Copies of this chain bind each other. A is one copy, B any other.
């Protein structure tokens, strides 16, 4: 049942996504007490032009990575 959507900046390497998915799934199944197969995840990547906080795009706010 639990369904996770993770919005992040574009461009994370595949091994980081893999690790993120694996560890988030473990946390959810342990605390929610559901079968591992029941945990679904979608990573939504967005460019820094399309993210903002405090009224400023992250492409202007952050030069390198957060």
Q: Which residues of A contact B (CB under 8 A)?
A: 1-9, 12, 14, 16-28, 31-46, 49-60, 65-66
Contact = CB atoms under 8 A, between A and B. Distances in A.
A17 B53 contact: no
A8 B12 CA distance: 20
A50 B55 contact: no
A7 B3 contact: yes
Contacts of A14: 49, 57, 59
B55 A26 contact: yes
Nearest to A20: B31
Contacts of A41: 51-53
B2 A31 contact: no
